[in-house]
Amino acid sequence: MQDIDKLWEKAASFHGHVCPGLMIGFRAALYAAELLETDFSEDEEIVCITENDSCSIDAIQVVLGCTVGKGNLLFHMRGKQAFSFYNRVNGKSVRLVQKQKPAGLSRAESFRYYAECSNEDMFEVKKPSIELPQKAKIFGSYICECCGEKTGENWIRLLDGKKVCLDCYEQYDRLNI
C-alpha cells in the first residue's frame, strides 16, 4: 500500500475536493484492503459492489483500483453507505456498512470524526448478501437496423425481424403493467 498521506492527496485530487463523503470511501477502501489482505487491483482481482453513488466511490476507485471500465466496480443502488468487497485471489469477502456518527456534528466535525475514529466505530462488518459477480465479459456488437448505432449484442432485441438497440425497441405489453 502506498503512503497513506500521498494516497489521500491522490484521492482528493481525483475527486476535486475534500469532503466527509470522500473520507468515508477512503476509510472503507483501506479497511477492506486490510480485511481482504489485498492492495490495488490491476485488473479484476478486487471487486466492489457499492450501494450508493456518492463521493465515497471516488476514493474506492483510487485506493483499490475498482472502476466501472474494468468491470470491478458495480452499483446496487440502495442509498446506503454500504460496500461489498471481494478478493478473487484468496476468496475473502466483506460488506462494510457505515455506522451512525454522533449527532449534531458540523461538516468539519464530521470530517474530523471520520478521519480519526476507529474502523470498528465507523463500520459494521457483515457478510456480503450478493454473490461474487462473474468477471466482466467483452461482447460482440451489431449495428442497430433502426438508428444505425453500434450496440453490444447482449442489448440487441429483435423487432419485426430486425436487430434493434434498446432505445429503438418497442416494448410489447398488452396488460400495460
Q: pLDDT of 139-165, one tens digit each?
A: 999 999 999 999 999 999 999 999 999
The number of helix segments (H) and strand segments (E) in the chain equals 5, 9
pTM of the model: 0.87
φ/ψ of residue 107, rounded to 5: -60, -45
Q: Topology of 137-177 in CATH? A: Wheat Germ Agglutinin (Isolectin 2); domain 1 (3.30.60)
Residue 96: pLDDT band with limits 50, 70, 90: very high
Residue 160 in 3-state DSSP?
coil
Return the CATH class of domain 4-126.
alpha beta
Name which of 97, 77, 73, 76 is nearest 86 in CA terms: 73
Q: What is the pLDDT of residues 29-44, one digit of tens each?
A: 999 999 999 999 999 9
Domain with CATH 3.30.60 in the chain: 137-177
Q: What is the pLDDT of residues 65-83, one digit of tens each?
A: 999 999 999 999 999 999 9
CATH 3.30.1330.130 domain span(s) along the chain: 4-126
177 pLDDT above the threshold of 80: no
